[in-house]
Amino acid sequence: MSVLKGKRILLGVTAGIAAYKTAWLVRLLVKAEAEVRVVMTPSAKEFVTPLTLSTLSKNEVYSSFTDEEDENARWNNHVELGLWADYLLIAPATANTLAKMANGVCDNLLLAVYLSAKCPVLYAPAMDLDMYKHPSTNATFEKLESFGNIQIPAGHGELASGLVGQGRMAEPEEILNFLEKYIADGLPLRGKKVLITAGPTYEAIDPVRFVGNHSSGLMGYKIAERAADLGAEVTLISGPSHLQLQHALVKIVRVISAQEMLEAVQAHYASAHIGVFAAAVADYRPVAPAKEKIKKTGDTLEIQLEKTQDILGWAGNQKKEQFLVGFALETQNELANAKKKLEKKNLDLIILNSLRDEGAGFKSKTNKVTFIDKNGTILPFELKDKAAVAADILDYIIAQQ
């Protein structure tokens, strides 16, 4: 999955011959699951039609403050558009538009949006060789750089004039890759490895029966997805779960038993910077699982159980530089039991939830949690969906890095 998923990209199109490439650029952005809106300068419509870009972006294309043919037309609010965007991408960016951007000229909707935008601004120059090399253009580039605007370098190749040289707009694939890298490099967990456990474990009684619990794994999966969206390289060790997660930065290791989960954790923990142990690991397992299905021969059945190894406790004992997070699902004496677990297992943070809170716990899309850190700070949260809880957890971890 691209880091562009869910990002709001406002594409500014100016009047250069390279505008024809924006159809493919919009298609690539949409395919990366970005939300795309397009603002065109009036002259840009001579090179590519608003209908084409509207169809591909699945959104209205803006080119003027109002629809001059409709006396009741709604004003296209440039401030609203500028605030909507996560990123403003201007491609192609002609010498004319770039000079106006550098000097505060505001004679069309796109320039008004540019001056209102609070988000990062990236631009892809497109002009002929001599224009690209002109001292005034270099001065424009320097001024825009001083504003914090980011240039997507023009390529070398055949230009519209027939000359060969610098000034050719970067290809749509190159622009997409540049934008993805720019976003990824700015993510707070970029370069971090996060190890997450999720779901239940199943401890075999015989080939068809097991000891387990009702955990769906949703909380751990949401934490994994959020960590990856923030740039982390995630290893998700999942017990049996119907859940799926497709993300370029997430590697899923599927296990069944507590022993298998332990071995997977042991294989990945040393290289992790952050460990979030959200799995509901079975505390006990049958001592001697039957190799064949146990037949129903009496009114009762006795199964001798033994403790499984404490995976979170092992991680706490082995902890070096890792930031270690555990979960505590309690039904009584919640705070006292959670604090005891925090200390005993050498955690940096424990996430407490109670089965007594409606909407929390297993098989729910929501959770109500309380953070308790190693310094004794207690931070309660309201009931939220698990994606929002995952965001709170990662935000807290990032703040401690």
- Residues annotated catalytic, as ranges: 213
C-alpha distances in Å from residue 153, one per residue of 86, 92, 379 = 21, 11, 47
Go through the chain and tell me how many residues it has.
Answer: 401
Task: Give the tokens for residue 152.
Answer: 């997507």
Distance CA 115, CA 113 (A): 5
Buried b or exposed e, range 185-202, using 16+ CB within 10 angstroms: eebebeebbbbbbbbbbb
Distance CA 247, CA 183 (A): 16
Task: Provide DSSP, 112-123.
Answer: HHHHH--S-EEE
Q: Where are the alpha helices (DSSP H) in 210-333?
A: 218-229, 258-268, 311-318
The two beta strands, 209-211 and 8-13, are unpaired
8 A C-beta contact, residue 199 and residue 367: no
8 A C-beta contact, residue 386 and residue 366: yes
User: What are residue 157's DSSP bridge partners?
Assistant: 165
8 A C-beta contact, residue 387 and residue 366: no
- Helix, strand, or coil here: 287? coil
Residue 319, Ramachandran bin (φ over 0: left; ψ between -120 and 50: alpha; else beta) = beta
User: What are residue 330's DSSP bridge partners?
Assistant: 354
Residues 307, 309, 311, 317, CA torsion sign: positive
Distance CA 233, CA 191 (A): 7
Nearest-10 crossing angle of helices 135-146, 95-103: 50
